[in-house]
Amino acid sequence: MTEQIPTKSIVEGAFLAAITAVLFIISIYIPLLGTLVSFLCPLPIIILCLRHSVKFAIISTFISGILVTILAGPLQGLMVLLGFGILGLTLGFGIKKGLSLTDIIIIGSIASLVSKGLILLIGFWVLDLNTVLFDIEELDKIITQSLNFYSNMGLSSEQLATLKDSLTQTISIVKIAFPGMIILASIFDTILNYWVAHLILKRFGYKLANFTSFSSWRASKSFFWSYLLGMVLIILGTTYNIPLLNKIGINIQVFFAVVFLIYG
């Protein structure tokens, strides 16, 4: 026999799906506040996982996507599924199964990375982000527009020349270190979303594993050796003209430079 879903659960699922849709709409249309609200978007999905089941949460997530599609368009509807649905379902699953905090962050980071990868693929296909991010002529236009802005602000020609060199170098590094930056963004995204979920859900009686105090965080020795590995790969790539080694080394160094910055 087909399992009957209680009416109360259906109403609650529809309500939380609507909340997810509203939060997403706010996150894309209201500057600044939208950025803060975006960290609340996975929360209704996590609650559905805990109160009902992951299967029920998946259905409600798709309903959220349909609602956003009706209100804002199909692309935005797809974004709510990929941008918040995958992460919310993964965090909800990990919390419901009683996984350790480390395991939750790991699987959450992987889920966030997958969702960002899918969003980028859609962006390359629909919005032609490949041209915006990696086309030299487009990047030159961005630099020129920035220089024109600062020129109108009264900067001297010497200052503009220094700024141009700085912008060119920064864009070059960003293009090479893009994979490492996406991985970092996925980890931070997961940590922040879990932290927000922990703050709110504990008020409703849910017991979630908490982070240890920041002062007790210590960098592992393996971090240092990993950073050193990045340096070695850059040297080898430059010496033997192997661009791939150079790019991998830069990504490793960028990643662990941020890690060391956090650990102090």
Domain holding 242, by residue range, is 217-264
| Regions of the chain where pLDDT drops below 50 | 1
Question: Is 13 found in the same domain as 114?
Answer: yes
For residue 13, the model assigns a pLDDT of 85
Question: Is 20 found in the same domain as 78?
Answer: yes
Do residues 129 and 123 make contact, with C-beta atoms less than 8 angstroms apart? yes
Which residues are CB-contacts of 213 (< 8 A; sequence separation ≥ 6)? none
Residue 167 lies in a domain: no
Total domains, the chain: 2
For 77, half-sphere exposure in the C-beta direction (CA atoms, 13 angstrom radius) is 14
Question: Is 236 found in the same domain as 118?
Answer: no
Residue 23 lies in a domain: yes
CATH number, domain of 113, equals 1.10.1760
For residue 248, the model assigns a pLDDT of 94
Do residues 44 and 20 make contact, with C-beta atoms less than 8 angstroms apart? yes
Do residues 105 and 187 make contact, with C-beta atoms less than 8 angstroms apart? yes
Question: pLDDT tens-digit profile of 86-119?
Answer: 999 999 999 999 999 999 999 999 999 999 999 8
pTM (whole model) above 0.85: no
Question: Is 114 found in the same domain as 239?
Answer: no
CA–CA–CA angle 41, 181, 229 (5° rounding): 140
Question: Is 223 found in the same domain as 202?
Answer: no
DSSP classification of residue 31: T
For residue 1, the model assigns a pLDDT of 44
Residue 50 lies in a domain: yes
DSSP classification of residue 90: H
Of 157, 186, 206, the one marking the end of a domain is 206
Question: Is 113 found in the same domain as 225?
Answer: no
Angle of the 178-201 helix axis to the 101-122 helix axis, nearest 10: 130
Question: Is 240 found in the same domain as 109?
Answer: no
Angle of the 178-201 helix axis to the 157-176 helix axis, nearest 10: 80
Question: Is 102 found in the same domain as 197?
Answer: yes
If you write DSSP's letter for every residue of 166-191 in order, what string do you get? Answer: HHHHHHHHHHHSHHHHHHHHHHHHHH
